Amino acid sequence: MKNFLRSSMIEQYRSPRRSKRFFLLAFILGIILVGSWYWLAINSYAGGAANEQEFTVSSGQSTKVIAERLAEAGIIKSAVAFQWYLRFNDLSGKIKAGDHYLSGNARLKEVAQSLTRLERQERTITIIEGWENRHIRQYMVENGVMSESDWNSVTSAAYELDWLPAAARNYGYEGYLFPDTYRVFADASPAEIVGKLLNNFRRRVNDEMLAEISRQGRTLEEVVIMASIVEKEVRSAEDMGLVADLFWRRYDDDYPLQSDATVNYITQSGRAQSTLDDLANESQYNTYKYAGLPPGPISNPGLNALRATIYPEANDYYFFLTTKEGEVIYSRNFTEHSANKRKYLP
């Protein structure tokens, strides 16, 4: 009996020790598992699209909402881990409001650091209306914004923008790199900069304009190509509206646009009037030889040219020419046009 009581007392003494040991081991195992999960969460790549996408943080937006939006966009894998990382690194409440350009294939901690980077020098870049991609490339290289190889790389990359015509990539997004003055971070990547230009195009060509294009039975691609020609042909917004209407009627009539600007695009001659040799060129950009639109845009049109092409000014002209002084002379028929050529052109 004494042995039984002694054994029971020993067993009761050992049981609490075993329970404590079990809970201690479980606690340590839990810490290891959570720590491992957290380490993997902040150091693993999200595995989304490699090209950078614009992510806008509104002023006063909570960390929780920002984390959830990042996860939904596929930029990070875990909203919880993102909030923990900010808290553990004293970054909570330090995310900068504004436009950020983030990769879907970056590590969570890199995304957090990018969003909370407080001191980034900025620079100004200016894209001029009517610049071709070659002009933008030259500007970027000469001003140290990016190298020529970087430019070639980012203008051939895929950008997952649902509004952007698929064919735009074939032409290095020419026509969609919106002319404007931009403030960009000095350390912004080439993809961030090109993404900013593309996103600005969509902001300027708003839903109302897209709806009007659709109502007319046209496509955004057709409009951008036409606007790129209008941009190069005439200068004022008034003339752009008249010439756009004239060109659309020729296009709808399957009559050649006869644009010297499209011929210049392939010859790079810079001549106001194409020569006979120029007009013999077999390129599809030769709109004297081939009716319809050229294969792609010939410039990056500004807002005036785009608006003129979407909302053309109705008129009954069918021909026009531009004098050496830049005055645009319109004609209703070929007879008038021939007379104006003799009068105004040498």
Could you tell me the two tokens for 99?
């436009």
Q: What local confidence, expressed as pLDDT, does residue 293 receive? A: 98
**pLDDT band for position 153 (50/70/90)?**
very high
Please give the average per-residue pLDDT across 248-268, as a whole number. Answer: 95
* Boundaries of every domain in the chain: 52-116, 122-204, 218-315
Q: Please tell me the distance from the alpha carbon of residue 95 to that of residue 66, in angstroms, as a whole number.
A: 9
- Condensed to tens digits (0 to 9), the pLDDT of residues 26-77 reads 666 556 665 566 666 666 766 555 556 778 888 888 889 998 998 888 888 8
pLDDT above 50: residue 5: no
Least confident of 184-198, 270-284, 311-325: 270-284
Distances in whole angstroms, Cα of residue 16 to Cα of each of 5, 21, 26, 27: 18, 8, 15, 16
Span 52-116 CATH architecture: 2-Layer Sandwich (3.30)
Q: Quick one: average pLDDT of 292-296? A: 97
Looking at the whole model, is its pTM more than 0.85?
Answer: no
The tens digit of pLDDT for each residue in 97-126 reads: 877 877 767 788 888 888 887 455 678 999
Q: Pick the closest to residue 249 from 307, 338, 179, 333 (CA basis).
A: 333
Instruction: Give the residue with greater pLDDT, 104 vs 300.
Output: 300
- The answer to whether residues 159 and 332 touch, using CB atoms and an 8 Å cutoff, is no
pLDDT range class, residue 269, cuts 50, 70, 90: confident
